[in-house]
Amino acid sequence: MRIPADTPYDLYPVYTGDDLGLSYQPNASTFKVWAPSASILKIKLYDQGEGGQLLEEKQMKREAQGVWSITFEEDLRGQYYAFQAKINDQWMQEVVDPYAKAVGINGDRGQVVDLKATNPGGWELDKGPRLGVPTDAIIYELQVRDVSLHQSSGIRHKGKFLGLVEAGTKSPQDLSTGLAHIKELGITHVHLLPSFDFRSLDERHPEENKYNWGYDPKNYNVPEGSFSTDPYDGTVRIKEFKEMVQTFHDNGIGVILDVVYNHTGETETSNFNQLVPGYYYRQNADGSFSDASACGNETASDRAMMRKFMVESVQYWMREYHIDGFRFDLMGIHDIETMNSLSAAARSIKPDVVLYGEGWTAGDSPLPYAQRALKAHTSQLEGIAAFSDDIRDGLKGHVFTPEAAGFIGGKTGLKESVKFGIVASCWHPQIDYAAVNYSDSAWAKSPVQTVTYVSCHDNHTLWDKIQISRPEASLEEQISMHRLALTAVLTSQGISFLHAGSEMLRSKDGVENSFESPDAINSIDWTRKSLHYDVYEYVQGLIRLRKNHPAFRMTDAAMVRENLTFLPTDNERVIAYQLGPHANGDPWTNIIVVLNGSDQAMTVKVPPAKYTLVADGKQVKLKGLQEFSTGRIFVAPYSASILYTETISARE
């Protein structure tokens, strides 16, 4: 029966099946749509993704649990479709159902496709790299267009999924770019900014080269058409996305998808709202749409069918596209129960799936605070990590105050915030929580729940932030600050996260929020690799160090407390700590890390021993830069030193 207009949303029927959307076979196609408040639901078949000829229009049959269905006993492959609901005696707009898996141009109509026919050769054998533990991951965040658009990329498929995985591409200086660069750098996973179908780009006019990060979802279960070579044929974007994933996997790199289930790009006219008005969104007390996303609406993950949609969407991306992990935008808008259900469902498919998100909202929400998947509630999440804005802003300065310097730029008062990040937001007896910038207590129950980072696509790049906050510093000093920041990230506990291009001092010409800035601002200028090749090699060395030494990748809070000891320093701008003995089974007996955020060289007391220096702020060499026996270590201004005592096995 139809749901009356005044029915509370928590009394709407819940569909328990797993076959919403299109189920295609060559001899029959069945469509199922959840629209319990509709009095009539029609499906319309077209010969094109926009315009074109209406081939057929039929009323669907009301089934149990709010579902409408219809079966066409013929091969509809290649045809396009849309649904139209009559609700409260009013015909709504034609839309695609939320479960659509293929769409035509601009995602306005679904397309009937045979998904098996979109699989590249050998797809059934494709698998991402296996992770021992989440802290083994070193994540590299990029946007599809950014990697290839610049003329220096040497990439032919500019701005496309295929461009990300072209082999052997070179810059004008004959240095590797794109996939080859990413593989040489040594990261374990690429994090793709939203690559599902979003609404802000007109796929009909790729020549306009308009840009958007993609945080305005339209069709959650479909790749973005502007990143494909043909956005009109829904099969092309699917096949090319799979080819991209497969190539990354063939090169030992996992693929993480940035997902934005917290809001949609449209509100009243979204496919959610045109089929089930109001249900998928939260409302204020006066009935208006609430807006914790600061984008016009927020979805209601705590309602059964939105929760079901999120869980099944993640499972679909994993099964159909072999995705290895997910980053959840504004995760604090979602409720804890939904996130834990989603985590369990994802791990049933891939036990080592990587899950993390932003543990905050962009505004207030009607969802009770205690139910929100916030950073402060991370310990209640299962197998999900949150970004540490504590260490981010501790290192580089307040993210929304461009001129504010951080620990790396010599600012005092941030030492405890950085130390808190070093122990991956866990409880440690040597942290003064009253002096931590954003957290007065530990919020992670283990290091696997913290994503350690200093920059991402949001706000200024690390290099731009340093130049704005410390303009009086020399170029050499600014570069030293940059290296120091990335040293702190890659030697801290937790899951390491790097913004693409930070290894070559990526700049966006000082633009803070580049979500719709032109490619000239957002694209990676590969000539910077040759200009700052020493920085690239330094970061490459840090990644090699982290991957080879499990002391930097401890797996539980007790292990961190037992094996990480902060050494006393007399300066607010200096942090020193020791890892060991043989932390997390590391072959090195003890490891010393010293971070000097001062403009002066510092001499730091360390336990007397025979040491090998492996990093001095300018170079990283695992076989050692020099050996010495001492109880003190000299550390240059704005730099880091890493050293170790005798090993129990052969050196690398």
329 catalytically annotated:
yes
Residues 6+ apart with CB under 8 A from 546: 138, 490, 491, 496, 552, 553
Say how far apart CA 509 and CA 519 lie, in whole Å: 12
Say how far apart CA 88 and CA 4 lie, in whole Å: 9
Say how far apart CA 295 and CA 275 lie, in whole Å: 21
Q: Which of 97, 329, 352, 416 is catalytic?
A: 329
Q: Which helix (H) or strand (E) holds 619?
A: none
Say how far apart CA 262 and CA 246 lie, in whole Å: 28
Express the helix, strand and coil content of the chain in percent, nearest 5 each: 30, 25, 45
Say how far apart CA 525 and CA 494 lie, in whole Å: 30
Give the total residue count for the chain: 652
Q: Helices (DSSP H) in 107-153: which residue ranges?
A: 144-148
Chain centroid to CA 22: how far?
Answer: 29
358 catalytically annotated:
yes
Terminal C-alpha separation, the chain = 70
Q: Helix or strand or coil: residue 47?
A: coil
Residues 6+ apart with CB under 8 A from 518: 209, 211
8 A C-beta contact, residue 597 and residue 569: no
Q: Would you tell me how many other CB atoms lie within 10 Å of the CB of residue 64? A: 10
Angle of CA points 217, 90, 10, to nearest 5°: 60
Q: Which helix (H) or strand (E) holds 631?
A: strand 626-635
Q: What is the dihedral of CA 505, 134, 251, 124, to 10 degrees?
A: -140
Name the phi and psi angles at 317, rounded to 5: -60, -35
Written as one letter, the residue type at 329 is: D
8 A C-beta contact, residue 69 and residue 43: no
Kindly report whether the peptide bond that precedes residue 366 is cis, defined as omega within 30 degrees of 0.
Answer: no
- Rg (Cα) of the chain, in Å, rounded? 26
Say how far apart CA 74 and CA 534 lie, in whole Å: 62
Would you put residue 178 in left (φ > 0), alpha (ψ -120 to 50) or beta? left
8 A C-beta contact, residue 564 and residue 583: yes
Say how far apart CA 300 and CA 292 lie, in whole Å: 11
Say how far apart CA 175 and CA 169 lie, in whole Å: 8
Chain centroid to CA 242: how far?
Answer: 18
Say how far apart CA 101 and CA 556 lie, in whole Å: 39
Q: Which helix (H) or strand (E) holds 633?
A: strand 626-635
Q: Which of 358, 390, 416, 503 is catalytic?
A: 358
Catalytic residues: 329, 358
